[in-house]
Amino acid sequence: MTVLAVVEHDRGTMTSASLGVLTAARNLAKQMNTKFEALTIGANADRLSETVANFGATTVHQAHNAMLTDFGPEAWGESIAQVVRKISPSVVIGTGTERGHEIIAQAAARLDLPAAMNCSEFDKDFNGTQPLKVVRTRWGGSLLEEAQVDAPIKLVTLANHVVEPQEELASSPATISTVDVQLDESVAQSFVQDRVERVAGVTLATSPVVVSGGRGVGSAEAFAPLEELASLLNGVVGCSRAVTNNGWRNHTDQVGQTGTRIAPDIYIACGISGAIQHWVGAMASKNILAINTDAQANIVTKAGYAVIGDLHKVVPAISAEIRRRQNK
C-alpha cells in the first residue's frame, strides 16, 4: 500500500504545482501509515531525484523511453498506467494543471479507473481500505463538491495553491527505480514539435504583485497608470476577460479560469466586477485590494481591502504616495 505522486516537469525543471503534490502525497501517506513514492517521466527526469527525495519520497520511479524526450499526453499517460500496474499504489496524485489533468485522465482511461480532478481536501480518516472522500472545486470555482473515489486505485489531481510545499527528509536516502516503459506509435498522437522561449523575468503566474484592470479602465491607453503602479511595486499587469475581448490587451495578460491562475502576495483589482471565471484565477491571492466605484461588486465583497472610488484618480494617487515615500 503506497501513495504515488506524479511529478510534472519541463525538461528537468520541476513545476511549482509538483511541490504541493509531493507535500500532499507525503501527508496522506503518513496518515495511512504507509510509504510515499514518486514518479518522474522522460528526458532529464533524473535531475529531479534530489528535490523529490528532499520531500520524503522513499522511492523515485524514473520512466524512460526514447519517445519521452519531450511532453506528450498520450505517452505520459501510458507511462503512468504502466508504472501503476507494476507497483499498485493505493492513491495516485497528479498536479491540478492542464498537463496534470490531461495525463491523469489518460492514465485513468487506460487503467479503466475513475479520477477526481481539482481536489482541495482529502479525507483525514482515510486509511487506504475505504473509498477516498474528497472535496473539489466545480463550476469554475463557484461551489465545492464533496465526492468519493471508490476504486482499487484512487486517481486524483490536487488543485493548485491549496497545499503549502514543505520539505521533509526521509529517514534514509530515496531508492531510484528505473522503469523502461513500452511505448508504440499509437501513443505519439500529440507531442511538442517546437518551442518559443519566453523573455526572462517575472511572469503573471509567478509575480508577487499583480495589478489588474477590467472593463472599468476604459481603453488600452488607460492602462498606463496601472503599468506605472505595477512597475513601482516590482509587479506585472493583468486584466479581465472583458479587456481581452475588447482587444485592449493580449490574452497572455488575462487572469481567470480561461487565462492564468495566480497566487501573488498582493493582487490589486482595478475596475473589475469579479465574475466567477475571473475569481477562479485570482482566489489564491494572499491579499486582495479592490478599487471600484461599485461597493457591491463581487470583487469588492471578496477582497480583504477595498477603495470605493474612481480608479483613474485612486491609482495615480497610490503611485504618487509610493514615489513620495521612496524619495524620502
Out of 36-45, 55-64, 86-95, 190-199, pick the least confident: 190-199
Which one-letter amino acid corresponds to residue 127? N
As a whole number, mean pLDDT of residues 318-327 equals 93
Instruction: Report which of residues 90 and 198 the model is more confident about.
Output: 90
152 Cβ contact partners less than 8 Å away, ≥ 6 residues apart = 113
- pLDDT of 12 reads 82
From the list 61, 73, 123, the residue with the least C-alpha distance to 97 is: 73
Residue 290 and residue 306: Cα distance in Å, rounded?
5
Instruction: Give the CA dihedral 159, 161, 163, 165, nearest 10 degrees.
Output: 130
Per the prediction, the chain carries an average pLDDT of 91
Which residue carries 495566480 as its cell? 262
pLDDT confidence band for 140 (50 / 70 / 90): low
Instruction: Report which of residues 66 and 4 the model is more confident about.
Output: 4
- pLDDT of 199 reads 54
- pLDDT of 197 reads 60
113-128 pLDDT, tens digit per residue, is 999 999 999 999 999 8
- pLDDT of 142 reads 64
Q: Is the pLDDT of residue 159 over 70?
A: yes
Please name each of the domains of the chain with its CATH number: 2-187 (3.40.50.620), 209-326 (3.40.50.1220)
228-277 pLDDT, tens digit per residue, is 999 999 999 999 999 999 999 998 999 998 889 899 999 999 999 999 88
What are the grid coordinates assigned to 282, written together? Answer: 485570482
As a whole number, mean pLDDT of residues 37-44 equals 89
192-235 pLDDT, tens digit per residue, is 666 556 555 678 988 999 999 999 999 999 999 999 999 999 99
Residue 2 and residue 34: Cα distance in Å, rounded?
6
- pLDDT of 5 reads 97
Residue 141 and residue 276: Cα distance in Å, rounded?
7
